[in-house]
């Protein structure tokens, strides 16, 4: 989970996450080949906006559309966007994943980083439902974060993190990758790849089925 603190030495609305700075390069290394044919990427729960700026700068041919339901997060994203001057980074949208159908069109890839475990299971259901209905055939959905995996021991740090999340909100917690992939399959998405990431996280690549 990313903590967000005001950026030291700045009086503007930019927030900064140490986790985002640490994981942005490994995530980008996985995302870049997935998005080789994408025109517009919709990022859900963009948080501070640091990922959006980093990815948009690295992928100039992709229009990056950040979003977040939180007003302070959107203010931070907008402030980072203004500072970056990137033409391919759009203004952040006020998007609540559970409010379906989403009031946004034209995206051909979806990205959700550190979302599923700090939200109720209904958010996972809504996300996979929209992806299954709205993504073009063959388009990717990329999820990043800690997951529980069958046959893979859960790291002690992830066990402690899961317990902390459930104390904060019983509806939160690390998600079973098997449960996510089963629901994804029922929504017309197939699990293509699971990529090992730093700090006991994984990148999960799903694709919209169909021709």
Domains of the chain: 5-208 (3.40.50.150)
pLDDT at residue 211 in the model: 61
pLDDT at residue 210 in the model: 81
pLDDT at residue 3 in the model: 44
Long-range contacts of 147-152 (CB under 8 A, 24+ apart): 147/174, 147/175, 147/176, 147/177, 147/180, 147/202, 147/204, 148/174, 148/175, 148/176, 148/177, 149/176, 149/177, 149/178, 149/194, 149/202, 150/176, 150/177, 150/178
What is the pTM for the complete model shown?
Answer: 0.93
Chain centroid to Cα 111, Å, comes to 4
Q: Please list the ranges in the chain whose pLDDT falls under 70.
A: 1-11, 211
Per residue in 105-138, pLDDT tens?
Answer: 999 999 999 999 999 999 999 999 999 999 999 9
């Amino acid at each position: 989970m990313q903590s967000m603190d005001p950026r030291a030495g700045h009086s503007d609305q930019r927030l900064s996450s140490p986790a985002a700075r640490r994981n942005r390069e490994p995530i980008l290394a996985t995302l870049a080949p997935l998005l080789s044919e994408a025109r517009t990427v919709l990022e859900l729960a963009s948080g501070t906006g640091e990922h959006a700026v980093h990815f948009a700068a690295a992928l100039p041919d992709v229009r990056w559309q950040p979003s977040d339901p939180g007003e302070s997060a959107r203010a931070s994203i907008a402030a980072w966007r203004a500072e970056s001057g990137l033409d391919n980074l759009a203004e952040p949208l006020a998007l609540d994943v559970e409010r379906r159908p989403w009031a946004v069109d034209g995206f051909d890839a979806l990205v959700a980083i550190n979302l599923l475990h700090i939200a109720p299971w209904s958010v996972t259901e809504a996300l996979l439902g929209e992806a299954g209905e709205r993504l073009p055939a063959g388009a990717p959905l990329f999820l990043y974060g800690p997951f529980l995996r069958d046959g893979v021991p859960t790291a002690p740090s992830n066990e402690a993190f899961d317990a902390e999340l459930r104390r904060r909100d019983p509806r939160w917690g690390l998600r079973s990758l098997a449960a996510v992939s089963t629901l994804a399959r029922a929504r017309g998405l197939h699990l293509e790849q699971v990529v090992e990431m730093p700090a006991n996280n994984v990148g999960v690549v799903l694709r919209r089925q169909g021709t």
